Structure formats: C-alpha cells, structure tokens
Structure 1
Amino acid sequence: MKKILRIFTVLALSLGILSSVTFTPQGIATAPQNVAYAKSYPIQIVSSHLNVHRGNPASITIKGKPHALGTIRVVYKSGPSKARGLNNKISNSKGYVTWTWLVGGNTTKKTYTFYVSLGGYTKAVKLYVH
C-alpha cells in the first residue's frame, strides 16, 4: 500500500497536480498552512456606569474591532432584559460602541453578570443593582 501511495504521489507531483499538497508518513494529505497574522481587537471597557439603583440608567462603552457587530445580553432574575437600548449595534470607525438602558424599578437587588460581544470576542461584565 505504501509503495502504491508513493508511486501515486510521484506521478501527481510530476504532473503538477499536488504541487502544494504534502503527504505525511501515514499517507494523509495535508495542505500547507498559510497563517495570516491579523490585527486582534479584544474588547476593552472604556467607560461604564454599572453600580446603579433600581429605576436608574446603566451604561457601558466598549472598544474593539471597527465596523463590527456588537451585542449585549443582560439577564436578570426574571429573565433576559428587553429594555430599550440593548439592541445590536455596529461599532464606529474607531471601534467604539455604547449601550445605555434603564434598570427596572422592580429589578431584584443583586450582582448580575451580563455579556458584551464585538468582532468575535465576548466579555463578561458585572452589573451591581442596589
């Protein structure tokens, strides 16, 4: 079997069919890996107002990849928030996105973890409701 594989490989390489494919000793074809070193845009919290009393606004501004889809998901004890202002947004040319929303007056007092995502990255953030 190895001899047949070698003959096939020699023929294919001589015809230029497999010029960029290599075979491992196990006989499995692998393509060359072209690694692109893309610019990384992890999420940074630029400003926030996340220590709030019930019935008051909370806000967060993050920075990441420019012109990327940004999402936020806030889940309270009663379930996912549907507050105005928590919609998906596109970051500006410098990578900034801001969300501002009203924390309900009946929201249970506690610390909540919510998530912001931008350009393929997600970050967990704490919201303190008093």
Structure 2
Amino acid sequence: MQSDDSIEKFRIDKWLFAARFFKTRSLAAEAVERGRVSLNDQRVKPAKTVAVGDMLTIRIGSVQYVIEVLALSNKRGSAPQAQQLYRETDESKTQRESMIARLKAQPQALLTRGRPTKRNRRKIEQFISDRDEY
C-alpha cells in the first residue's frame, strides 16, 4: 500500500481490483466502461488515474457505494488491507443497508435446480402426451 501518488500512476480499474470491489481486473474495467463507476460524478475510462481524496460512486447490481479514496495501491492484498484504501460515506452505508433489508424482506421464489424428481418427470411426460393427442 502506497500513499504517495507522485511516484506512480494508479489506474482506476487496478485500484478497484486492489480494493476488492471486483474479483478480477477485467470485471473492474468492464464496470468502468459500462458507466457503473464514476469518479467525482463524471464517467471515466478504465485507464483514468485515481488520486487520494477522489470520490467514487460504484454500482454493483442493485447496491451503490459512495466512497472516498484514502490510499492508493495496485496490488490486491487481504480484506483488512483493502478496507484501508477507502472510506464509505455514512449516507451510502445507510442507503445500502436499507436496500439490503428491503431485498431480504421480499419473498424469494423457490427455484429447484437439477434433475426433476420421478414424480415431476411423470407429470411432464403426462403433460407432453396430453398435448400431443390434440
């Protein structure tokens, strides 16, 4: 982790990867390209340099983060090291927590995956044979 930005330039996609917002650098670059990341309320390209004090708005799915850059790094470290690179605003935390609470309160659809059971397979076969008779 390095806090002196005059020595080296830090690309926004590399920084997002190092701060553990995205699992890969290519996913971070894709998010920046698609406009899901803005730097100081402006849309940027993945090669844009980031500096200490910049404000980033990051949308991942339905969750939005508004963070301030505290330190710079190009290398992905542990989660505690990554959390020292930024500070999320209090307003962003409350909005994100309320969004998560609303999503958890919604009823979830019961999706079954995998092969159908013997009973379900028989129902499917019966449905298909009834349809073919007409």
TM-score, normalised via structure 1 length: 0.30
Pair member with larger Rg: 1
Structure in which a larger fraction of residues adopt helix: 2
TM-score, normalised via structure 2 length: 0.29
